[in-house]
């Protein structure tokens, strides 16, 4: 049994596996071992998507938390600063003592019943369900780990399913085509349930047909309904249908899309669930504006400009490119990009996309085992002003010395997490 949180977390992290699932039998069996905490009185919202699902969870949580009478749980991954971020109630992380308590309880129960080993994500998912049940959470927003259909979280019966977007990532698990990836993500749509997602020309028919087959209500966000967009360095403004002049702290055009999905979700809860969570217009505007998500186009230093962004797949890089292109034009500054990417990502496509935008690129790596060698990334680049360095402190100091550049660290959430900690600990 564990007495300190570091040992408990190290044990949980050691459960990580790369085996491909074919069904959810083991997760249902695990839940049954703990008296099915996912079937308690908690109302669930299930959120999947290639990118943006963390932001959607955060927007929803903050709006619902405006009602001080509600207990609002959220389950997200990965974390930026500490393991406890994964499981929250009303914005407060699960405590170290509770991480120890539930880790020991889960291990003890498994051992007593000769259950066998469970994987990392199954472990933290059952921990989340147990914690939320014991704390009598009213509503919990659950973020899918990977995909949807075979994700450990897909044992819940949500009042609403949300897919933030569908793009290319985790192809070794989800499939090589957008149709295959979309099919996996649409696995969270339940019979007679409801889905909110954003239009996607390549798979709109798949989305519509899936919802028809399952007799599920579909609300499709149309990009043409997102209007009056104004993207700045400190805030984003837009309008969506009846919601005028919505203000966000989160940056980038894609945040207007994420927030529009959330506006539809909130309208659904008001109109189809008798507004049981007492959502009002002030809650919506205040909650959206309060939302802040570490490592997603986050401005960590104003002068000189330093931005970190966890873009880690081709869609994320496209969105980052979109924002940095506008920012360069607006501020008339040069761009220095500091790039580190996990080895299992589409690193060459990512580099090809952003190579031409940067006036200087520094390639590097991060400490987590998945990191690609920065020299491999350097050799893939055609940028005329490319550099390689394995000294992150030196790179960070370089960005702090030169006001002529917009400095952007990107390529991996693991990487920007490391940079963020280094910056604020200095």
Walking along the chain (426 residues) 10 residues at a time, the average pLDDT comes out as 95 83 93 97 96 94 97 92 95 97 98 93 97 98 95 98 87 81 96 97 96 98 96 92 97 94 98 94 97 90 94 91 92 95 93 94 91 95 96 94 92 93 85
Residue-level pLDDT at 129: 98
Residue the block writes with tokens 């034009």:
329
Domains of the chain in sequence order = 5-290 (3.40.1190.10), 298-425 (3.90.190.20)
Tokens of 411: 């390529």
The residues, any chain, with a CB within 8 Å of residue 316's CB and separated by 6 or more, are 51, 309, 310
Determine the Cα–Cα distance for residues 203 and 182; give it in Å rounded to an integer. Answer: 7
**Residue 230 is inside which H or E element, if any?**
strand 226-231
Confidence (pTM): 0.91
Question: Helix, strand or coil for residue 270?
Answer: helix
Residue-level pLDDT at 18: 65
Give the helix, strand, coil percentages of the chain, each rounded to 5.
45, 20, 35
Determine the Cα–Cα distance for residues 220 and 191; give it in Å rounded to an integer. Answer: 18
**In contact, 4 and 100? CB cutoff 8 Å:** yes
Q: Which long-range contacts (CB under 8 A, 24 or more apart) does 11-18 make?
A: 11/103, 11/107, 12/83, 12/103, 12/120, 12/123, 12/124, 13/83, 13/120, 14/120, 15/117, 15/118, 15/119, 15/120, 15/122, 15/123, 16/119, 16/120, 17/119, 17/120
Residue-level pLDDT at 425: 83
The whole-angstrom distance between residue 175's C-alpha and the CA centroid of its chain comes to 20
Residue-level pLDDT at 167: 83
Stated length of the chain: 426
Helices assigned H by DSSP within 65-119: 96-112
Nearest by Cα to 260 from 129, 132, 162: 162
Residue-level pLDDT at 114: 94
Determine the Cα–Cα distance for residues 246 and 260; give it in Å rounded to an integer. Answer: 10
Nearest by Cα to 317 from 306, 309, 307: 309
Determine the Cα–Cα distance for residues 51 and 164; give it in Å rounded to an integer. Answer: 7
Residue the block writes with tokens 């040992």:
7
Segments of 28-152 assigned E as strands: 43-48, 72-75, 87-89, 92-93, 139-143
């Amino acid at each position: 049994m564990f007495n300190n949180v570091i040992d408990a977390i190290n044990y949980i992290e050691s459960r990580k596996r790369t085996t491909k699932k074919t069904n959810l039998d083991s997760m249902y069996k695990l839940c049954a071992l703990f008296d099915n905490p996912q079937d308690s009185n908690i109302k669930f919202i299930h959120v999947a998507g290639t990118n943006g699902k963390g932001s959607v969870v955060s927007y929803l949580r903050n709006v619902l938390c405006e009602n001080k009478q509600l207990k609002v749980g959220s389950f997200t991954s990965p974390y930026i600063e500490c393991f406890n971020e994964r499981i929250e109630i009303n914005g407060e992380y699960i405590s170290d003592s509770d991480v120890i308590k539930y880790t020991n309880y889960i291990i003890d129960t498994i051992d007593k019943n000769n259950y066998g080993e469970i994987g990392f994500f199954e472990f933290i998912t059952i921990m989340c369900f147990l914690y939320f049940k014991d704390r009598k959470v009213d509503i919990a927003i659950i973020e899918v780990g990977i995909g949807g259909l075979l994700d450990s979280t897909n044992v819940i019966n949500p009042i609403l399913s949300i897919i933030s977007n569908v793009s290319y990532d985790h192809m070794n698990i989800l499939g090589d085509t957008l149709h295959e990836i979309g099919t996996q993500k649409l696995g969270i749509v339940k019979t007679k349930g409801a889905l909110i997602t954003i239009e996607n020309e390549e798979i709109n028919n798949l989305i519509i047909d899936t919802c028809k087959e399952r007799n599920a209500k579909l609300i499709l966000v149309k990009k043409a309904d997102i209007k009056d967009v104004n993207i700045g360095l400190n805030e984003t403004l837009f309008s969506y249908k009846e919601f005028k002049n919505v203000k966000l702290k989160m940056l980038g055009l894609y945040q207007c899309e994420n927030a529009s999905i959330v506006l539809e979700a909130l309208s659904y809860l008001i109109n189809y669930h008798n507004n049981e969570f007492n959502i009002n217009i002030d809650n919506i505007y205040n909650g959206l504006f309060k939302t802040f998500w570490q490592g997603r186009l986050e401005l960590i230093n104003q002068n000189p400009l330093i931005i970190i962004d966890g873009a880690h797949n081709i869609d994320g890089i496209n969105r980052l490119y979109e924002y940095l292109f506008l920012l360069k034009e607006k501020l008339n500054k040069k761009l220095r990009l500091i790039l580190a990417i996990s080895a299992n990502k589409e690193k060459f496509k990512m580099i090809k996309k952003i190579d031409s935008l940067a006036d200087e690129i520094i390639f590097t790596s991060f400490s987590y085992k998945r990191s690609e060698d920065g020299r491999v990334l350097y050799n893939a680049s055609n940028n005329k002003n490319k550099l390689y360095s394995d000294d992150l402190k030196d790179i960070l100091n370089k960005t702090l010395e030169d006001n002529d550049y917009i400095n952007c660290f990107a390529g991996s959430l693991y990487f920007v997490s490391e940079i963020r900690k280094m910056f604020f600990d200095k």
